[in-house]
Structure 1
Amino acid sequence: MENTFDHELIYSIFKLVWSRKAAEKNEDDELFNIEVGRASKKNRRTTANANALKVSCELLRIFVSEAVQRAAMIAEAEGSGKIEATHLERILPQLLLDF
């Protein structure tokens, strides 16, 4: 099996994003003074299924390896021995459309 991203790292990144989004949402809700007497979907904690986390890690691995391969092709065509930020910038639009 090829190397992949650490599941705990990806989960930590997801949790960080979820907590920031929840904080933004809470700030918006406070502006309107919304009070809910019972538990709602808004109050539940967001989690990731173990299989979903594995798939996310694999998708990120494939995405990064594809980006490196495409950037390497551009660098090679230009006669450069290393990949630079400009090479990644050139392949990024098409890469995002492909994924």
Structure 2
Amino acid sequence: MEETGFHPDLIHAIFKLEWSRRSLEREKNENPDAMDCEVDAGAGTSKKSRPMSANANALKLSSKLVNFSICAEAVQRAATIAEAEGIGRIEPTHLERVLPQLLLDF
């Protein structure tokens, strides 16, 4: 059975982007007078500058959690619309109405 949703490689790329952003933020906070410069990825062996990685199982779990979170948010938003319309159950049209904003949010 083929799984749908976010691929673990995509989640890893997102994590790496966030790790890089936080690393640059820490460097700016530690040395606010330093001029902006390009960081050489191979230079230095300190904990701050070494590449970050994630376990394959952790990436699979993270991708499943992202899928679950987005599905739960979609259902919650659709339920809010159904409730506002006085309907006791979510219908496909409710999900269709929340999808554009949901895609923009995520």
The answer to whether TM tops 0.5 is: yes
Cα distance in 2, alignment partners of residues 66 and 31 from structure 1: 41
Spell out structure 1 runs of 4+ moving beyond 4 A. none
Task: Measure how far apart 1:32 and its partner are.
Answer: 7.5
Identity %: 34
Task: Measure how far apart 1:24 and its partner are.
Answer: 1.6
How many residue pairs get aligned? The number is: 83
Cα distance in 1, alignment partners of residues 9 and 22 from structure 2: 20
Q: Deviations over 1:13-66 (max 9, x none)?
A: 111111111112222334478xxxx84322321111111100100111111111
> Which 5+ residue runs of structure 1 have no aligned equivalent?
89-99
Q: Please say which of residues 58-67 and 72-81 is displaced more in the overlay.
A: 72-81
Using the size of structure 2 for normalisation, the TM-score is: 0.62
In the alignment, which residue of structure 2 is the partner of 1:19? 20
> Which 5+ residue runs of structure 2 have no aligned equivalent?
35-43, 88-92
Q: C-alpha root-mean-square deviation of aligned residues, in Å?
A: 2.9
Quick check: 1:69 aligned with 2:75? yes
